[in-house]
Structure 1
Amino acid sequence: MKSIYNKDHNLELIERINRLSPESQAQWGKMNAAQMLSHCQGPIDVAFGNLKLKPNFLIGLLGKMFKNKILNAAEFKKNSPTAPEFIRKEAIDFEQSKKELIQKVMLFSELGEKAIKSSKHLFFGEMSFEDWDRLQYMHLDHHLKQFGQ
């Protein structure tokens, strides 16, 4: 499995992000490319401790039950549910969102595990650095594939 902390794998993600344009079309889902770039920042902000989500007992219980199955899957399923805080329906500035996402992705390879400031995930509960690595890489990979990258 590729690692978001690995400089080469991280650079590969950034190159894929850079190949996107405002005209890039989703192969599934409802977001446009700009909304996707903004959406992908939400989970990173949670890992970095910059975004606190309101816990839900039932969601947390389900997440703990499915954590290993989801994190050990080859990839995320299309149209998987997401936290309401990550849904983007408004107009988003593509270039600004792209720039911000790239900066955040770069922090994973620059800081490594030190980038992670939260040990808890709203859905999965306790998370190791390896869990965050897998989740962040899979999430970005999923959405880049959504837009043909």
Structure 2
Amino acid sequence: MKNIFQVAVTKEIIERIDNLTPATIQLWGKMNVAQMLAHCNVSYELVYDDIHPKPGTVMKFILKKLVKNKVVNEKPYPKNNQTAPAFIIKDERAFEKEKGRLIAYIEQSQQLGESHFDGKESHSFGILTKTEWNNMFYKHLDHHLNQFGV
């Protein structure tokens, strides 16, 4: 899997995002392009912004046992995969705002580097390695950029 913490990979992802327009149509799924960008921002909000409630002890245990491996492994997500409630975006979003936020989050993560994330606790899955953080970030972005044909 590509390493999102490498400058070249970050640049490639941002170029793909820059190929999106407000009129870009999804190849599958229900979200429009602005909603997809907002959806991708949630991954970073969970890291940088304290706006989502943390799962309780029991829910965190369940997430670690049943969901974590699917999120942090290298196997691509299937189309129309089920998502967590915090990631469901139903309201309309401003394309340029969500795009700018996502690019800023991606650049911030790349600048902090993989060593910053190695051993960092995630919102839902406990302590993750730098490889698990990379897989989670890159795989999610790649999945949704593919969803919109970029």
Normalised to the residue count of structure 1, the TM-score between the two structures is 0.86
Q: CA deviation at 1:114?
A: 6.2
How high is the sequence identity, in percent, across the aligned residues?
A: 40
Q: Distance in 2 between matches of 1:54 and 1:89?
A: 21
Q: How many residues are paired up?
A: 148
Query: 2:148 is aligned with what amino acid?
Result: F
Does the 8 A contact of 1:3 with 1:133 survive in 2?
Answer: yes
Which residue in the other structure is 2:35 paired with? 35
Query: 2:141 is aligned with what amino acid?
Result: L
Does the 8 A contact of 2:120 with 2:129 survive in 1?
Answer: no
Does the 8 A contact of 1:47 with 1:132 survive in 2?
Answer: no
SS of alignment partner, residue 113 of structure 2: helix
Bigger Cα displacement from structure 2, 57-66 vs 71-80: 57-66
Q: Given the alignment, which residue of 96, 114, 119 partners 2:121?
A: 119
- Mapping for residues 87-102 of structure 1, pairs under 5 Å: 87-102=88-103
Does the 8 A contact of 2:26 with 2:32 survive in 1?
Answer: yes
Q: CA deviation at 1:45?
A: 1.5
Tell whether 2:111 aligns with 1:107.
Answer: no
Q: Distance in 1 between matches of 2:16 and 2:148?
A: 10
CA deviations 1:15-55 (Å, max 9, x no partner) are: 00000011111111110000000110001121235444331
Q: Distance in 2 between matches of 1:135 and 1:53?
A: 20
Consecutive aligned runs of 4 or more in structure 1 exceeding 4 Å deviation: 114-118
Q: CA deviation at 1:136?
A: 0.5
